Structure 1
Amino acid sequence: MTQPPSIPPKPPEGPGADDAGSVVMERRAQRVQPPKMYQVVMLNDDYTPMEFVIAVLQELFGKDRETATQIMLKIHLDGRGVCGVYPRDIAATKVDQVHQAAAKAGHPLQATLEPVE
């Protein structure tokens, strides 16, 4: 005696179900924190010419002449000045570029990076 073919169970219907009987998870939006920012701080010394500092600010940090001059004066008068604020990798690269440019020109100009609070 032959048996009649069996009928497969009917898949669930409604939200989250597809045609193959699989349940689809609802996508949740992930909240990604923005990267922590760091400021590049240039330090004053008694040997690096002011014109060189202005040139570095213009070439490496994209400042116009007036803004570069203002930052240079802040560095000169306060002993330090913020050149820009970037994610950590970019800030570290900027610091390296300042050190390389200063070494190439024979100046002791220094820069550091500090986390922005």
Structure 2
Amino acid sequence: MYQVVMLNDDYTPMEFVIVVLQEFFSKDRETATQIMLKIHLDGKGVCGVYPRDIAATKVEQVLGAAHKAGHPLQCLSEPVE
């Protein structure tokens, strides 16, 4: 299994991160806000844990949405230890 991790930056609006978490990770607004705050405060946060192929797709979706919106948001997947 792989966890999808979003990284903090100083440019992507918090609201955009919340919308991405709701849209691509099916989080409710409260949960999305909690994850966004973790990313903001800790520098990164786990969005979800998935099989490798699904995790890779989620990363592509997030990066595509960020690029389209003109934000430098970074997202990656890593094996769960």
TM-score range, shorter chain: over 0.9
Q: What is the aligned partner in structure 2 of residue 52 from structure 1?
A: 16
Larger RCO of the pair (alpha carbons < 8 Å, separation 6+): 2
Could you list the runs of 4 or more consecutive aligned residues of structure 1 that deviate by over 4 angstroms after TM superposition? none
Residues in 2 aligned to 1:40 and 1:115: alpha-carbon distance in whole angstroms: 9
Tell me the TM-score normalised to structure 1 length: 0.69
Residues in 2 aligned to 1:57 and 1:93: alpha-carbon distance in whole angstroms: 14
Aligned counterpart in structure 1 of residue 7 of structure 2, from 43, 49, 54: 43
Counting aligned pairs with the same residue, the percent is 86
Structure whose CA Rg is larger: 1
Q: Determine which structure has the larger strand proportion and give its number.
A: 2
Structure 2 letter corresponding to 1:69: T
Compute the RMSD of aligned alpha carbons: 0.2
Does residue 89 in structure 1 map to residue 53 in structure 2?
Answer: yes
Structure 1: segments with no counterpart, 5+ residues: 1-36
Tell me the TM-score normalised to structure 2 length: 0.99
